[in-house]
Every structure is written in C-alpha cells, then in structure tokens.
Amino acid sequence: MVGVGRTIDWTDGAVVIVDQCALPAEHRLLRLETVTELIGAIQRLAVRGAPALGAAGALGVALAARAHDGDAGAVRADAERLATARPTAVNLRWGVERALAKLPGGTEAVLAEALTLLDEDVRVNREASGHAARLLLDRCERRPLRLLTHCNTGRLAAVDWGTALGVVRHLHAARQLEYVLADETRPLLQGARLTAWELAQEKIPYRLLPDSAAAAAMARGLVDAVVVGADRIAANGDTANKIGTYAVALAAARHGLPFVVVAPSSTVDGELPDGGAIVLEQRAPEEVTHVAGTLVAPEGAEAFNPAFDVTPVDLITAVVTEHGVVAGSAR
C-alpha cells in the first residue's frame, strides 16, 4: 500500500512532503529545501490541513535556522513569512512559535523541537480521535455506525493518523463502522481527491457525495453522526473549518444528529473569545470559475470563495481534543 508514511517529515536537511496537488493520480514526494519553497507548497495546498501546517511551520523554522546560521533577525523574518502564509489554521503560527522559542539553543535545538512536535502530533490525534470514537458509540444507538465527514482530516491533513478520519479508523478497526459518506468538498475537492483516496487505500467502505447532497442523505436516514476537523477553535467552542462545514452542521441539527469536531488542542485559540474574530482565508476566484483548469462560468465572472466558515458552538455536540470534550452544546 502506498501512502502509509508520514505526510510531512525531515529528511537529509530538507522538508519532505506528500504532494497533495498530485493526488489521487500520483503519490509523489516533494523535497523542499528553502523557506520560500515551503511557503509556496503551503499556499498551493501541496501541504495542508491544520495539524500538517503546524508541522510545516516548525520544520520551516528549522530550514530558516540552517540557512541563516547565527543571524536571529533573518530567522525571525522567515518565521513571520511562514506564520502568515495562510491565515486561518492557528496551528501554523503555533508550530512556528514553538520551534522559534528554541532558537537561543541553536539550530539543532530548533530541529529537535520540530521533530518532537511531529511525534506529538501523531500521538495527540490518536488520543483525540479515540475519545471522539467512544463518544459517538455512547451517543448513537445504531451499530455499526454510518458517519458523514467533510474535507480531508486524515493522514494527509496531519503528520499521520488524522483527526476526524482518525475516528473513522478507530471505529473501522473495532468493526463498529458501516461506511463513511465523504463530501466531495468543493471547490478544491479535498474530499474527493484526498479523503476518498485514503479510505480506498485502507479498504474502508465509503461513498462520495456532492456537498449539496449531505442534507438529503440525512433526510433519507443514511447518517448516524457527523465528524469533522477544525482549523481554529475559539475559546467558546465556535469552530472554523473548511467551507461548507457550517451548512452540514445546520443540517445535522435539523435532523437531530450528533455533530462532533475533533482536533488537537493546538487548534484551540484561547485568545479569541468567539468565532467572530477568526480570519477566514479568501482564495482566488479561479478555484470556483474553473474546474480542473477549464472555465465553467462566463468569462469575467466574479466569485465568492472563502476557504473556511465558522460553525457556532450551539450547533456542535462536542469539540474533542486529546484532553477529551473541551466544548460543545448539550445538543
């Protein structure tokens, strides 16, 4: 089976990532030797997903520290460029700052911290998704479970294992999963290109559906619960995640289905009291007006293309991290 290694790692002085722009057609690795190359990969989503962005931030500071040995000002300037490469996932700045804090100890101390962060990412996401799997088994009567998910929250969105898709993995291993309904996740199709690829690799039963069919699947009784990841969680539990998540949460509430957010605690931004202040990345109109490079709208059409939305906590059954349930409504 391909694709079971880490999504992002450090090899022979460079950051090596699974190139997510090439999947599912091709599983290939990209070697990134400079901060500028890494920022380019982050911005075109060759590496993406909040936990993976935390790892990228930390490893990027290691690249900077090596490139500017002894020049702390230059390292800090690169670190700031990295931290602002994408605005919504708080993990990116968190990873950068964690590694940067070790700069007084020298380049090797920065790298050691980044590698520790990578190991922790795998462990905490396994723990968080284990808590969420148990919660769903408590909340849902039907066995085995039929879950709906949005975007990609698996190995490809983290260093390994994943968050919401980690829940799927735990339940599948315990023979408690019937299938996954995976939203295709317009406009960049993380669900179709990446989640479906991961599920197929692991022979986990799934069906893809257009985002617009999620509510209809619930209405037809095909879903027991929804499980998603997060890019930034405010102190009150309001959660920014891939565009379309809010609509799924509204539909889940209408159908009385549990809606569970799974994330490492590094995705919680305790400095924001609620989701109103979360900066939501706006991306290029071409992502909407074109499909696979072909224009599908009138020439010059304008587009509204936010990459993320905010789901208010009253629509969220539970926000689950490695520490267990940290927020949520009684719903």
231 forms part of the interface with ligand MRU (CB under 6 A): yes
Q: How many helices (H) and strands (E) does the chain have?
A: 11, 16
229 forms part of the interface with ligand MRU (CB under 6 A): yes
Figure out which of the listed residues 16, 38, 92, 230 binds ligand MRU, where binding follows CB under 6 A: 230
- Tokens 């919680």 sit at which residue? 268
- CB of 114 or CB of 230, closer to ligand MRU: 230
Q: What CA–CA distance (Å, rounded) separates 182 from 245?
A: 12
285-324 mask for ligand MRU (x: CB under 6 A)? ----------------------x-----------------
User: Containing H/E element for 110?
Assistant: helix 107-139
- Tokens 């009150």 sit at which residue? 236
20-59 mask for ligand MRU (x: CB under 6 A)? -------------------------x--xxxx--------
> Between helices 107-139 and 90-100, what is the axis angle to 10°?
140
Task: List binders of ligand MRU among 66-95 (CB under 6 A).
Answer: 89
What are the beta bridge partners of residue 291? 294
- CB of 21 or CB of 112, closer to ligand MRU: 21
9 catalytic per annotation: no
Q: Is 305 annotated as a binding residue?
A: no
151 forms part of the interface with ligand MRU (CB under 6 A): yes
Q: How many residues does the chain have?
A: 331
User: Containing H/E element for 29?
Assistant: strand 29-32
Q: Is 50 annotated as a binding residue?
A: yes
Which one of 231, 238, 269, 309 is the catalytic residue? 231
CA atoms within a 13 Å half-sphere pointing along the CA-CB vector of 25: 3
Q: Write down the least CB distance from residue 329 to ligand MRU, Å.
A: 20
111 forms part of the interface with ligand MRU (CB under 6 A): no
238 forms part of the interface with ligand MRU (CB under 6 A): no
196 forms part of the interface with ligand MRU (CB under 6 A): no
What would the two tokens of residue 238 be? 């309001």
Q: What CA–CA distance (Å, rounded) separates 18 from 8?
A: 7
User: For residues 137 and 148, is the Cβ–Cβ distance under 8 A?
Assistant: no
**Among 167, 179, 272, residue whose Cα is nearest residue 228:** 167
153 forms part of the interface with ligand MRU (CB under 6 A): yes
**Stretch in the footprint of ligand MRU (CB under 6 A) among 8-16, 229-237, 294-302, 313-321:** 229-237
Sheet containing 177-183: order of strands: 206-209, 177-183, 145-149, 225-228, 259-262, 318-321, 324-327
Q: Write down the least CB distance from residue 181 to ligand MRU, Å.
A: 16
Q: Which residues are catalytic?
A: 231
Q: Where do contacts with ligand MRU occur on this chain (CB under 6 A)?
A: 45, 48-51, 89, 151, 153, 157-158, 162-163, 190, 229-231, 241-242, 307
